[in-house]
Structures are given as C-alpha cells and as structure tokens.
C-alpha cells in the first residue's frame, strides 16, 4: 500500500507507530496533566503543541537535520541537556505548586492557554529520544529512490499524527473525567499531582543519562 508513492512496508509502520505512541513519555504525561488540571480545551492545546513539535521533528528527520544532530555528539548533548533541564523545571514546578505553595489548587487553573501550547511545543522539540526515533524508525519506511520522497513523508507523518490524535484524545477525556471525580477529594488530587511531578523529575534524570 502506497508503495508507488515511496512508502515502504506501510502496515508494519502503522503497527510500529501505534506501539510507539502508546509508550508513556513526557509529552503524553503533560497532555494528561493539562486535561486533568485545566479541562478538555486546554488539553487539546497541549496536544496541538505535541502535534506541531512532532511534525517539525519528522520534517527534520526527512531533511537530514535530525541525523546530523544524532551523529554530532555536541549538538546531541545540547538538545539532551536542554530537554532534561526543562523536564526538571516542570517537575519541580508541579511539586512546588502541589506541596508547598499555599492555595495552589486554585492558582494552577489560571495558567494562560498560550503558556500551555508553548510548554508542550518545547517538550516535544527538546526530546532527543524523539529525534532518535525519527532517525532510526521513521525514515526506514521512505524509499530514498522514489521520485518524490516528500509525498511519502506526508503520508507517514499524517498516519503518526492520526494515531497520536486518537490516543491523546482518549487521555484528554479521561483526564477531564478524573477531574470531576477528584474535584472534591483534595488529598487524592494532591497525591496525583505529586506523582506526576516526580515522574517529570524521573524523566529528566533518565534523559540526562541518555547516551548518544
């Protein structure tokens, strides 16, 4: 399917994309946290940031820029440490707002929508694991000898974004449901936010030790 357009092993790619999207990561965790805290609309803003970031990374992989980052240790380490620092910042901010800041339960919901979009975009763009994925997996399914590899890129990118949209939509509506359930259960909400904050810190530590 789509082989005449430069796509190799389309259904293998679809299966692989589904499994990769389902693997928990900082992007999906941020979307879930946003939907729990701010509701469906802002959850989709976070998802939009992830979609844009993924699209840019896929384009860079197709253009060869991602390969350059992967094969150049200095560039790879810059991206790696930027991503780790930002994850640590988000995790520490969540923990501070949850455990130390007075009245945090009311203040968190006032975050501007533009800030949500920006955070999701930065998370996506500073994730070297995503770069590794697009270099090692995504480009394998593009026939480099095809006359128009850009068409294959658009097809594969579209499929991945559709899979991601479906899964993130599930997380968003699940998060909104959880919000209604824990709204009157402050201790449960506090525990959930603390766990999410610690997961972000854990992602930061793991990313900082990632080898190129």
Mean pLDDT of 92-106: 65
Contact 36, 172 (CB under 8 A): no
pLDDT in tens, 149-200: 788 888 988 999 999 999 999 989 988 777 666 555 566 666 666 777 787 7
Q: Is residue 103 over pLDDT 80?
A: no
Tokens representing 81 are 């440490």
The predicted structure's pLDDT at residue 106? 45
The predicted structure's pLDDT at residue 212? 53
Q: What is the mean pLDDT of the chain?
A: 78
Task: Among 3-12, 18-27, 88-97, name the one with the lowest average pLDDT.
Answer: 88-97
Q: Is residue 102 over pLDDT 60?
A: no
- Per residue in 152-161, is it b (16+ CB within 10 Å) or e — as a string? bbbbbbebbb
Q: Is residue 88 over pLDDT 90?
A: no
The predicted structure's pLDDT at residue 163? 93
Q: What residue has token string 């006032």?
A: 110
Give the CA dihedral 7, 9, 13, 15, nearest 10 degrees: 150
Q: Is pLDDT larger for residue 208 or for residue 125? A: 125
Question: What is the rounded distance in angstroms from the CA atom of residue 138 to the CA atom of residue 69?
Answer: 16
Contact 196, 37 (CB under 8 A): no
What is the pTM for the complete model shown?
A: 0.72
Q: Is residue 115 over pLDDT 90?
A: no
pLDDT in tens, 35-86: 888 888 899 999 999 999 888 888 887 777 666 666 777 877 776 777 678 7
The predicted structure's pLDDT at residue 189? 62
Question: What is the rounded distance in angstroms from the CA atom of residue 69 to the CA atom of residue 62?
Answer: 13
Q: Is residue 105 over pLDDT 50?
A: no
Question: What is the rounded distance in angstroms from the CA atom of residue 107 to the CA atom of residue 97?
Answer: 9
Q: Secondary structure of the chain: what % helix, strand, coil (to 5)?
A: 85, 0, 15
Q: For residue 107, what pLDDT band results from cuts at 50, 70 and 90?
A: very low
The predicted structure's pLDDT at residue 199? 73
Give φ, ψ of 166 to 5 degrees. Answer: -65, -45
Q: Which residues contact 143 (CB under 8 A, 6 or more apart)?
A: 3, 6, 7, 8, 149, 152
- How many helices and strands, by DSSP H and E, does the chain display? 10, 0
Mean pLDDT of 93-121: 69
């Amino acid at each position: 399917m789509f082989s005449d357009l430069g796509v190799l092993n389309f259904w293998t790619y679809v299966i692989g994309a589904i499994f990769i999207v389902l693997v928990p990561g900082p992007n999906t965790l941020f979307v879930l946290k946003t939907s729990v805290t701010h509701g469906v609309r802002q959850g989709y803003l976070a998802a939009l940031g992830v979609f844009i970031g993924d699209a840019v990374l896929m384009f860079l992989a197709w253009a060869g820029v991602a390969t350059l980052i992967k094969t150049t240790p200095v560039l790879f380490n810059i991206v790696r440490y930027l991503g780790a620092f930002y994850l640590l910042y988000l995790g520490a901010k969540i923990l501070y707002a949850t455990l130390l800041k007075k009245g945090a339960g009311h203040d968190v919901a006032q975050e501007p929508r533009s800030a949500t979009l920006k955070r999701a975009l930065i998370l996506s763009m500073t994730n070297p694991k995503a770069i590794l994925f697009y270099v090692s997996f995504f480009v394998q399914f593009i026939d480099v000898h095809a006359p128009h590899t850009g068409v294959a890129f658009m097809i594969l990118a579209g499929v991945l974004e559709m899979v991601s949209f479906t899964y993130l939509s599930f997380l968003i509506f699940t998060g909104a449901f959880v919000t209604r359930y824990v709204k009157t259960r402050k201790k449960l909400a506090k525990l959930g936010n603390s766990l999410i904050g610690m997961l972000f810190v854990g992602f930061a530590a793991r990313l900082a030790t990632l080898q190129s």
